[in-house]
Chains A and B, each alone.
Chain A
Amino acid sequence: MEYVSPEGLRLDGRRPMEMRQLRAEIGTVAKANGSAVFEMGNTKVIAAVYGPREVQNRSQQINDQALVRCEYSMANFSTGDRMRKPKGDRRSTEISLVIRQTMEACILTHLMPRSQIDIFVQVLQADGGTRSACINAATLALADAGIPMRDIVTSCSAGYLNSTPLLDLNYIEDSAGGPDVTVGILPKLDKVTLLQMDAKLPVDIFENVMGLAIEGCKAIANYIREVLLENTKQLEYRRGL
């Protein structure tokens, strides 16, 4: 099947290095301490953060840092074919772990000892790149909750089909069987916190694809930073003196 036409257009009309449309909204769940909705094309994800608050389970309390917990769940209607089990299956557990480790690396946990931070991510629509959208939404929600972080984390995926590196794969391109590289970076510190790949790639092409994904992450970081700055300014001028 042809994923990249001879003119250089993908199945949804994008160019190979073009990302899908991004949209972010802060503060959707009023009851949570921080929340955000993040959309990458058709992939739509809600993240909610509760905390820092007192640890509910005394045995899990850590004396010198905060405990970070995360749960990833997909809605029944999020994928094309209905899913039977929204949570508890192995993929969800793995992604919960991945998100938790990534966010834990950037939160300054030593500032909030013996407390607990809960991150809940809910996928409303899945069209490829759910892992990345979840991490981006979680970053926004944590910033909204005022939790101190070393840097924001952004994530993006890239692949290699028809001998072309492609940025931000959607579901059809993802299930084509080609390689899928997901990268998460700390843009200011210029460090990679998450790197996952499946299928196989020669090393030099891998460097290309990873570089492309990192470019994508940086673009997302700029967008997220704009959204947060706008939100902060709005809150400040509304509050008044």
Chain B
Amino acid sequence: MRGLQLPLSQTQRIRLQRALEKLQSLSCKANSDASVTVADTIPVNYEDAFLKGHGTTDLNGDLVATVCGVVERINKLVYVRALRARYKPEVGDIVVGRVVEVSQKRWRLEINFSLDAILMLSSMNMPDGIQRRRTALDELNMRGIFEENDVVCAEVRNFQHDGSLQLQARSQKYGKLEKGQLLIVDPYLVKKSKQHFHHLEQFGIDLILGRNGFIWVGEHVEARDSMVVDQANSSEQSMVPEEKSQTHTPLEMRQNICRISNAVRVLSALGFSIDSDLILETVELSSTVKIDIHDMLGSEFHVLVAEREAERRSLMGKRKR
């Protein structure tokens, strides 16, 4: 179990084993049969025309897998979905990245991909909100918008011809993320869904599930229109950092942020896919069991979450039938 180096007592071990076995029996049988490792032949009907997708290669006329994963067939496309791998970007994905370098007219972001992604200055909304050409002054002030090590939320715009990635952050909901913490999980646990920005009203917290496995949990910030207003007070902004240190996140909100982060950590350690409903359920579970925030990372809670997940999936399976 990756990263699950927990001291489990004998009973806990048995309970966990039972829960995982239940999950195994519930999983789609077709899927487990379709698991392949590197250099396994993929069973294909060679008479039908088919397209070779990612993770496959041709070997002496046979179709062979190049990564360990599950074979997926969609219409005529046959490909291998790798589980633990670097992020595989698709146009339109929402990602969270960290600025690595500020260079001429662009920022370079690290997003858990084989190359760093580029965010052009022209793909960014200007603080004053006006759509205009970027001047030399804008270039010199790039650090005023994002500087090194900042956490940024953006969208995948397109691929360059040489394979590198271009991002854009044109809408109000993208931009710099502050007042919170960044969690890193495996990209395959975050599935593509309609909503990646979640505003959890009952906690007042923003939860952003980046498709690249970077998850941001932080205080809720109103839509970034504040940037437009700030330009007028920009001179005050530069002096504010001193006073900012006084305004820490209130304790209750911090507790909620920690609870949600720990829920994400537990789910990622157990290998369950992460979406906002599951996170909220896990947080509820921790409150009902009245477990301390720190103890959420202990063995007992891990076993409880595994058991609860096994139940939930079996209920879902029954509902489908």
Contact = CB atoms under 8 A, between A and B. Distances in A.
The reply to whether A and B meet directly (CB within 8 Å) is yes
B86 A240 contact: no
A232 B71 CA distance: 12
Contact of A237 (B32, B40, B64): B32
Interface in A184-240: 186-189, 225, 228-229, 231-240
A150 B39 contact: yes
A136 interface: no
Contact of B66 (A34, A113, A148): A148
Nearest to A63: B162
Contacts of A189: 39, 59
B318 to A, nearest CB: 14
Given A228-B37, A229-B37, A240-B23, A54 B66 contact: no
Contacts of B69: 146, 232
Contacts of A188: 39, 59, 64
A30 interface: yes
Contacts of A115: 114-115
A145 interface: yes
B51 interface: no
Contact of A33 (B28, B86, B271): B86
A33 B23 CA distance: 26
A233 B68 CA distance: 10
Contacts of B64: 188
A146 B272 CA distance: 18
A84 B124 CA distance: 55
Interface string A126-149: 000000000000000001111111
A115 to B, nearest CB: 4
A241 interface: yes
Contacts of B189: 239
B28 to A, nearest CB: 7
Contacts of A47: none
A239 B83 contact: yes
Contact of A146 (B23, B84, B273): B84
B83 A237 contact: no
A165 B3 CA distance: 42
Interface in B34-88: 35-40, 55, 57, 59, 64, 66-70, 82-86
A112 interface: yes
A127 B272 CA distance: 39
B163 A114 contact: yes
Interface string B154-171: 000000001110000000
Contacts of B27: 236-237, 240
A38 to B, nearest CB: 16
Please classify how large the interface on chain A is, using the bins under 10, 10 to 19, 20 to 34, 35 or more: 35 or more
Contact of A236 (B31, B114, B115, B270): B31
Contacts of A238: 20, 23, 270-272
B84 A235 contact: yes
Interface in A39-58: 51-54
B114 A146 contact: no
A236 B32 contact: yes
Given A152-B38, A229-B35, A239-B83, A53 B3 contact: no
Contacts of A225: 37, 40
Given A54-B115, A146-B68, A239 B272 contact: yes
A238 B272 CA distance: 6
A114 B38 contact: no
B107 interface: no
Contacts of B188: 235, 239
A27 interface: yes
A144 B114 CA distance: 16
A54 B83 contact: no
Contacts of B179: none
15 contacts: A54-B114, A54-B116, A108-B57, A145-B84, A147-B67, A149-B39, A150-B39, A150-B66, A186-B39, A231-B68, A232-B36, A232-B37, A236-B32, A237-B24, A238-B20
Interface of A: 26-27, 30, 33-34, 51-54, 66, 108, 112-115, 143-152, 186-189, 225, 228-229, 231-241
Closest 9 CB pairs of A and B: A146-B85, A52-B114, A237-B27, A238-B271, A27-B2, A148-B66, A188-B39, A115-B114, A30-B3
